[in-house]
Chains A and B, each alone.
Chain A
């Protein structure tokens, strides 16, 4: 087989890491994702399997929960996005085995681009990018909201000014441009 070199969502060999003023924007390339949707009438077995497979409670609407191995983002009613570090052997396959017929699971690793942004000016940057009230988001809050007409997911990881932005991978350059241009304009 040909020797192939993996590239990141932005097309680089290594992930992009930029600091602009008081904001650091890091492309996170080593993250596995899978969507998790409850099947109709399977609420009890779904919640039981989730607790066992993910080791964390499912997040309430507009929330994120996580531990050392998995993060779980609320995406919609009975729908979640599961995060794990690359190296997690077959995330979607493992979840499918754990949930059996209680959930529909799809690998999403190559569907999204992830940027982690940190710095004291992050709230000022986000309020220019999004109509969501990001200043009121507490640690553990997650919202799906448009940024420059791209449907993104904003996750506030903890009490510090540290956000993750997921956006459509096919628009990775556009989203990165939106973030860097806004950071530069502050």
Chain B
């Protein structure tokens, strides 16, 4: 499997580690009143879609950047690769 790194181009998947659902980037507010419930969801509950899925990948044996991969779970086709830092900053966080 080849992953098209946004900065470095096509790289072998053996250089990467999958870190799971990209929803981990949306960490809830720890000081909100319902923090216990939202952290339970954040920590333990995952969607398991048959189709398009966004997940975090770490370029561990490379430039150590975090990526957000959009992958079709039925075909393993990779539809998009973005830097996680870009995903987070475009969502309004620094």
Contacts and interface: CB of A to CB of B under 8 A. Distances in A.
Interface of A: 40, 61-62, 74-77, 79, 131-132, 143-146, 151
28 contacts: A40-B94, A61-B7, A61-B63, A62-B7, A62-B9, A75-B63, A75-B64, A76-B63, A76-B64, A76-B65, A77-B7, A77-B63, A77-B83, A77-B85, A79-B63, A131-B12, A131-B15, A132-B11, A132-B12, A143-B62, A144-B61, A144-B62, A144-B63, A145-B15, A145-B61, A146-B14, A146-B15, A151-B61
B79 to A, nearest CB: 22
Contact residues on B (Cβ < 8 Å of other chain), bracket: 10 to 19
Given A75-B63, A76-B63, A77-B83, A131 B14 contact: yes
A134 to B, nearest CB: 12
A131 B15 CA distance: 9
Contacts of B9: 62
A74 B7 CA distance: 11
B50 to A, nearest CB: 31
Contacts of A151: 60-61
Contacts of B60: 151
A143 B62 CA distance: 8
B30 interface: no
A74 B5 CA distance: 15
Nearest to B62: A144
A40 to B, nearest CB: 7
B32 interface: no
Given A76-B64, A132-B12, A145-B61, 16 more contacts: A61-B7, A61-B8, A62-B7, A62-B8, A62-B9, A74-B63, A77-B63, A77-B65, A77-B83, A79-B63, A131-B12, A131-B14, A144-B62, A146-B14, A146-B15, A151-B60
B75 to A, nearest CB: 23
